[in-house]
Amino acid sequence: MKVDLISAEIGSTTTVVNAFADMETDHPKFVGQGQSYTTVLEGDVTKGLKHAFNDLKKNLDAPFIEYDEFFATSSAAGGLRMTVHGLVHDMTVKAAKEAALGAGANIKFITSGKLRRTDIKTLKEIRPNIILLAGGVDFGERDTALYNAECIAGIEELKDTPVIYAGNVQNQEEIREIFEEVSRRVYIVENVYPKIDKLNVKPTRLKIQEVFEEHITKAPGMEKVRELVNMNILPTPGAVMKATQLLEKEIGDLVVVDVGGATTDVHSVTMGSDEINEILVSPEPMAKRTVEGDLGVYINVNNIIDNMTLEELSRKMNIDMAVLQEIIDNYKPIPETKLQKDLIKQLTLEASTIAIKRHAGTLRYLYGTTGKKTIAEGKDLTNVKYIIGTGGALTRLEGIDILRKMVQGNGDELLPSKDVRILVDRLYIMASLGVISEKYPKGALKLLLESLEQDKK
């Protein structure tokens, strides 16, 4: 069988391959899908990729599959581990963090101000894939970023870790010299926080995704995948963000909830309401991603269970504690029985609810001599028109019902209203179409819209 394009999503738990045709025409086609478990622990992710290809051939009843182009995204081997170092936590550090998360990184460590001995010790222990260094508005404070650069350049254990500098423009040449003197890779981009209350995260996001190409080959067997692809391998969360931004231009303000085996990610593209913007104490990017590294329905499943308690889970599932414990003891990444699916539904609901509340901002009340004053902190989701579910759990296990239960009364939390529309990426192709959109934006958008299953509200 001949198709035009294959796109693979190599996740922490499952590997999915999607086949497409006619992407350059007005009638692009999603041909079919295959999936398998990811084989990082077996020492070669291409084993899982081969299993997924075999599943695709089986689903298409095809003895072989030929293709012209191959695209890929990955969050295998722990995804993209980054650390972020800036000047002031609520300013340059926050801007750098937004850039890293939006690019698809998992941030393991954040510091503000000059690095201390304990910070350097932590950096050595984490061994990040990329270090993001920022600090100072343009033509503002210079010394902190230069000091931190000298410290990082001197860490022998991280000599192979690339550094991205996105701080005060006046430091660029000196930063370059600091790292080149010790033969370290450094990439210079525009300041993520060039002026007070102004974010400039896009150049840094793009550079992180470029540098990610160097990291991704470290997942066992990924160098073989890299030889197959026609475009850059993107971090899976970064690909989902691209798809989210593509959709926002077509349908308006939206939130995407992506529940995976290791993390739960929330992507939002919205400027928020005028009312909240007037009382917002610090700027938020229009496109924002948060990643909850403690909320995953396979690798981090025990964290969700501990948050709910076994008693609560057994009550919600209407089963005995002994039966529940047996299901947990035999837990699988891809559920097979009804009870296994019922358990993952409950865990997915819990992960989604916690994640979107962490993503959203809140109202706060200050009291002074002039009386009560209301301020807003964080991301305003009150103008969001759509919540979209993607990832294995939400696309395979009645995601619309799960997300509908997730939406609750707002109170002081800047969450979407109860009237928000719920959509689910029923074909589970959002990440694939995110990376494909770099070459075929019109075809990717058309297929994205076709994949969105709506609630009956």
* pLDDT, tens digit, 9 for 90 and up, residues 118-165: 999 999 999 998 999 999 999 999 999 999 999 999 999 999 999 999
- Stretch 364-380: mean pLDDT: 89
| pLDDT for position 302 | 86
Is residue 299's pLDDT more than 90? no
The architecture CATH gives domain 80-216: 3-Layer(aba) Sandwich (3.40)
- Stretch 215-241: mean pLDDT: 78
* Residues contacting residue 120 through CB under 8 Å, at least 6 positions apart: 151, 155
User: Mean pLDDT in the chain?
Assistant: 90
> Minimum mean pLDDT among 103-107, 363-367, 435-439: which range?
103-107
pLDDT in tens, 163-199: 999 999 999 999 999 999 999 999 999 999 999 988 8
5-76+219-228: in CATH 3.30.420.40: yes
Helix, strand, coil % in the chain, rounded to nearest 5: 40, 25, 35
Is residue 218's pLDDT more than 70? no
| pLDDT for position 76 | 67
Q: What is the DSSP string of 170-233?
A: GGHHHHHHHHHTTT--EEE---SS-BTTB---HHHHHHHHHHHHHHHTTSTTHHHHHHH-SSPP
pLDDT in tens, 306-351: 888 888 899 999 999 999 999 999 888 778 899 999 999 999 999 9
Task: Answer yes or no: are the C-beta atoms of 371 and 384 closer than 8 Å.
Answer: no
- Count of helices and strands (H, E) across the chain: 17, 18
pLDDT band for position 78 (50/70/90)? Answer: low
| pLDDT for position 224 | 79
Most confident segment among 221-225, 252-256, 398-402, 415-419: 252-256
> Minimum mean pLDDT among 113-122, 233-242, 246-255: which range?
233-242
Give the HSE-up count for residue 384: Cα atoms under 13 Å, Cβ half-sphere: 31
pLDDT band for position 93 (50/70/90)? Answer: very high
Structural domain boundaries of the chain? 5-76+219-228, 80-216, 235-454
Task: Answer yes or no: are the C-beta atoms of 386 and 425 closer than 8 Å.
Answer: no
Burial degree of 147 (CB within 10 A; 0-12, 13-18, 19+): middle
CA dist 54 and 94 (Å) reads: 44
pLDDT band for position 456 (50/70/90)? Answer: low
**Neighbour-count burial for 262-294, b at 16+ CB within 10 Å, e otherwise:** bbbbbbbbbebeeebeeebeebbbbbbbbbbbb
pLDDT band for position 77 (50/70/90)? Answer: low
- Stretch 415-422: mean pLDDT: 92
- Stretch 370-391: mean pLDDT: 93
Q: 372 or 19, which is more confident?
A: 19
pLDDT band for position 265 (50/70/90)? Answer: very high
